[in-house]
Structure 1
Amino acid sequence: MAMASPPSPPSSGCPFLDADSLRRLLPLSALIPHLRSSLPSLSAAIHSPPRSAFPLPSSPSASLLLMPSWSSDPSLPYIGVKIVTSFPSNSTLHRLPGVHASYSLFHAATGVPLVALNGSQLTLLRTAAVSGVAASLLARHDARVLVMAGAGALAPFLIAAHRLVRPGIERVIIWNRSTDKARILANNLQEEEGGEDRGVTFECAESLDEVVAQGDVVSCATSSESPIVRGVKLKPGAHLDLVGSFSPSMRECDDEGVARGRVFVDFEVAMEEAGELVGAFERGVISRADVAGTLVELLDGTKVGRRSDDEVTVFKAVGTAVVDLLAAQLAYENSLQGTYFLRVGI
């Protein structure tokens, strides 16, 4: 539970939590249960206007995004804002990530700045944690095979989150448009695991079509604008986790994937922003009324999750400032208490 009156930052200035600090303060083993408990009780009190996006003159495709949020609950006395820059050409022109972010947390009663956080790392952690929470309610308990589509910065966090909530996973298959990138990630994760004798194998695949049918959990974190997962390939009982797309022009699975599955979203805004859903609504594949519920409704018991072993479930997340604020809260309060978890890393 949040503190009623968090102290002001040191007089020397507002502290900064870098990526390494956040990985120590926000391990998924702590962040997932924090979101499970706090989303049902606090999300209604968190005000989160739609993200604001501004084009930048420095590049035709560059943009500045602002994601503010604040709480009206005295047990969560915070204001937060994430500032994001998107420069898609960075990877080809400068060999830099295309997205950078910073997060600032303020005291809700005084407006005093409390802490600044690495927004990119915060986003990776909270995105993976949300998928982990959803999978804990929607994926089969006996899930053994995880298919990961995408080998970017988010992929290892998603793999860790799914393995945490479904510890029976014994095989992880990674696909990426660049097979070399998928192979490097698989090799790195296998080395971190301590080799194949530890019971979990990591491998790469050249064809996503060929391995989707094997996945008990299929997680996608790409920037694709055309479907990469075909619904006809999903096995009965599969859980499809879609976190890559965040605009109507982006799409990671086809209409059949949406139609076959029982669809849940992180928040209702996903029905306005997710290309998989917006397109399906426009084409009459499903209607908004066919969306089975939100993550908060799953957590508070208003909606029922998986109903049978053969049911295909789909979770579509676009991310909101609500979970940013809750993740920043936990990081800040753990830092005040000197809480550094023993396991360093994801």
Structure 2
Amino acid sequence: MGHQQNQIQQQHHLQKCIIIDSDQVRTLLTESILIHHLQSSLSNDTIHCPQRQNLCINNNTNRNAPPGQLLVMPAWSQSPAIPYIGVKLVTAFPHNTHMGLPGINASYLLSDSFTGSPLAFVDGTEITHWRTSCISALKEAGELVGAFCRGLLRPEDVVGTLAELVRGSKGGRSRSEEVTVFKSVGSAVVDLVTAQFIYEKHLQGSSD
């Protein structure tokens, strides 16, 4: 374990559970540094990722309202490189839109995998946005290289990335006959290493 990781482990035992909101996440991250972290971390085979739970939440006060959903997505590792337990909780309540409320909410709890102590609550929507954008960019890069080599695509055929589309710097479909296809490649494993990076960047900033 390196010196920096030793410092982080020591901070775990001293640190009270913190809240990292969406504004803080956007301050801490850039696509390039998160992509680099994902590239180096996703090869770690010590991360356990059970099947996510999808639970139905019936509305007992309004039986005409559609049921809500609770998605529970856990992952954990006791590797010195990733000493964390992470759980993303996503709630989907379609009738919220009629009340001017978000239909989907997400939060992420990061805990120490050696003591079980809670370390941070991180905005789950931001985690989903960043990890989806960056992991898709990694996958796109690998798939495009193969397509270029086989002559199926030319570099000039690519007008943008998913990350640029999400940011709004590139437009989507401009004609009805065009088709947009997206394959999600995210998982609880990617959520965990993304939350790890956000948390450790936050600790580094607070100790500077």
TM-score above 0.5, yes or no: yes
Q: CA deviation at 1:110?
A: 1.0
- Supply the distance in 2 between the matched residues of 1:147 and 1:111 (Cα, whole angstroms): 38
Give the 3 Å change call, closer, same or farther, for CA 334–113 of structure 1 in structure 2. Answer: same
Distance (Å, rounded) in 2 between the aligned partners of 1:49 and 1:112: 21
Structure 2 residue 23 is matched with structure 1 residue 30: no
CA contact (8 A) 1:80 1:104 kept: yes
Counterpart of 1:8?
12
Give the counterpart letter for 1:54 in structure 2: L
Q: Is the 8 A contact 2:165 2:171 kept in 1?
A: no
Match of 2:50 in 1: 49
1:127 correspondence with 2:127: no
- Cα 1:84/1:155, change in 2 over 3 Å: farther
- Percent identical pairs in the alignment equals 38
How many residues are paired up? 187
**Structure with greater helix percent:** 2
Give the aligned partner of residue 88 of structure 1.
94
Which of these residues, 329, 336, 341, is aligned with residue 196 of structure 2?
329
Instruction: Confirm or deny: 8 A CA contact 1:69 1:325 kept in the other structure.
Output: yes
Deviation at 1:174, TM superposition (A): 1.7
Q: Residue type matched to 1:16 in 2? A: I
Given that residues 65 and 84 in structure 1 are in contact (C-alpha distance below 8 angstroms), is that contact kept between their aligned partners in structure 2? yes
Name the aligned partner's letter for residue 107 of structure 1.
D
Instruction: State the 1:90 CA deviation.
Output: 2.5
> RMSD of the alignment, in Å?
2.6
Tell me the distance in 2 between the aligned counterparts of 1:109 and 1:98: 35
Alpha-carbon distance, 1:38 to partner: 1.3
- How far the C-alpha of 1:318 sits from its partner, in A, is 4.9
Higher relative contact order (CA 8 A, sep 6+): 2
Distance 1:9 1:73, change over 3 A: closer
Native 8 Å contact 1:6 1:107 kept in 2 = no
Q: How far, CA to CA, are the matches of 2:29 and 2:58 in structure 1?
A: 36
Tell which deviates more after alignment, 125-134 or 1-10: 1-10
Q: Give me the TM-score of the superposition, normalised by structure 2.
A: 0.79
Deviation, structure 1 residue 47: 0.5
**For structure 2, which runs of at least 5 residues remain unmatched after alignment?**
60-64, 149-154
**Is residue 105–residue 114 contact of structure 1 (8 Å, CA) maintained in 2?**
yes
Distance 1:156 1:71 in 2: 30
Indicate if the aligned counterparts of 1:147 and 1:174 stay in contact, CA closer than 8 A: no
The aligned amino acid for 1:336 is: L
